[in-house]
Structure 1
Amino acid sequence: MNVRRPLTSVLAVAVSATLLVLAGCTAQDGVAGENGGGFISGDGTVLVVAPDDRTDVPDWGGETVDGATIDSAEIDGVVVLNFWYAGCPPCRKEAPLLEEVYQEYLDRITFLGVNVRDSAPTARTFEEEFGVQYDSIIDTATRDVMTAFAGQVPPSAVPTTLVLDAQGRVAARVSGLLPSAQTLADLIDAVLAETEGETEGP
């Protein structure tokens, strides 16, 4: 299934990798809770999860800004999920970086935003202002996506970006503002290489 702009599979990287990231807007509820309207620095790390350490994630989905319905069970291949909301300064700062990566990989992976606070009209205004072409799930009411990922690798800061492998498991997490477009591209390339290696076999 292609979500307004496609995506294909896989990420391979051994455990560890810690990169300094700029400040994020943390949330008290594990993914994107309110924090009195203030912003706190994220943990500033990139977490890479080795294939043997990844765990299954419940199905997730919801309605997008454009009114489409997303069901993770219908998505094939590697997925990038970016948790955000319009009033978060780091989210605004990294929007061009995410769009740059999306344009580079749009024929190979699925790229989705997960808006954790706004209404669809507010999210759409943000997309128009920053030229965001990929779609976002409005997760404000149901918190379906946030709940699905709040277990083994909770995206505790907003923005948070997850890279999922072809099995839908968390392969990497950037907690806070992306250091660069290249950082995310490297994580995606690793997962894609992992998948391609599995496809080719011995």
Structure 2
Amino acid sequence: MRLVAPAVAAAVVLSGCAAQDPLAQQAAEGNNKNYIAGDGSVTEYAAGDRGEPVEIEGSLYEGQTVSSAEWPGQVTVLNFWYAACAPCREEAPDLVALHDEFRPQGVQFYGVNIRDGKENAEAFERNFEIPYPSFNDSDGGVLLSMTSYVPPQAVPTTIVLDKEGRVSARILGLADKGTLSALIDSALAE
């Protein structure tokens, strides 16, 4: 009987910690939406705090292998998505507009589809007229290499890489067009 009170107290303390984390709270809700929406938080990393360039290699749906080793000198935007994700659908037109706006300045965009087969991914890209390629990351290789910045179930997440291939900014959740534009501008200005 004496062990029950400490166990209950520990459970209350632990549940209080988990309830304060919005991603953990969504996971615990069990509402079957099959993704954990980010909170829209934006993180910018100062140049001195960025660490090493990211190391990514994966296959695009077209079959071509792409490596982040090819990206130095260019600002790169990575958007983690999948077709059934409602916030991914909502932000798609803004990502297309930003791609079109920044392409003349050498900014490259890549989608990272974490779930869909080729047919579903291509249908999404046709529907939203996505002009940039996407990694077929159904095996999780790109996501795994980015887990320091992209929580595995927080989709969408958008990453901006600086000209050295380091993470300069992250948007966890739906990417606001104006915010992402400002983050890309900042990376270009460096």
TM-score, normalised by the number of residues in structure 1 = 0.74
Structure 2 distance, partners of 1:106, 1:58, is 21
Structure 1 distance, partners of 2:26, 2:37, is 10
Segments of structure 2 that go 5 or more residues without pairing to the other structure are 1-21
Q: SS of 2:38's equivalent? A: coil
1:79 is matched with: 76
The higher relative CO (CA closer than 8 Å, separation ≥ 6) is in 1
Task: Work out the percentage of aligned pairs sharing the same amino acid.
Answer: 43
1:95-125: CA deviations, max 9, x gaps? 0000000001113111100000001121011
Query: Contact 2:96/2:131 (CA < 8 Å) preserved in 1?
Result: yes
Of 126, 129, 136, 1:128 maps to 126
1:158-194: CA deviations, max 9, x gaps? 0000000111111000110112x22111100001101
1:56 is matched with: 52
Query: Contact 1:61/1:137 (CA < 8 Å) preserved in 2?
Result: no
Of 91, 94, 112, 1:94 maps to 91
1:105 is matched with: 102
The list of structure 1 runs, each at least 4 consecutive aligned residues, that deviate by more than 2 angstroms after superposition, is 35-41, 153-156
Matched letter for residue 83 of structure 2: A
Structure 2 distance, partners of 1:27, 1:135, is 30
Structure 1 distance, partners of 2:131, 2:113, is 15
Q: SS of 2:185's equivalent? A: helix
Structure 2 distance, partners of 1:148, 1:39, is 20
The alpha carbon displacement at 1:75 in A equals: 1.9
2:135 is matched with: 137
Query: Contact 2:109/2:132 (CA < 8 Å) preserved in 1?
Result: yes
Structure number having the greater helix percentage: 2
Segments of structure 1 that go 5 or more residues without pairing to the other structure are 1-22, 29-34, 195-202
Instruction: State which structure, 1 or 2, has the greater radius of gyration over its C-alpha atoms.
Output: 2
Query: Contact 1:27/1:158 (CA < 8 Å) preserved in 2?
Result: no
Query: Contact 2:53/2:164 (CA < 8 Å) preserved in 1?
Result: no
Q: How many residues align?
A: 162
Structure 1 distance, partners of 2:169, 2:61, is 25
Of 155, 174, 181, 2:171 maps to 174
TM-score, normalised by the number of residues in structure 2 = 0.78
The alpha carbon displacement at 1:57 in A equals: 4.3
Against the structure 1 CA distance between its residues 51 and 174, is the aligned structure 2 distance closer, same or farther, given a 3 Å change threshold?
same
Matched letter for residue 124 of structure 2: F
Query: Contact 2:54/2:166 (CA < 8 Å) preserved in 1?
Result: no
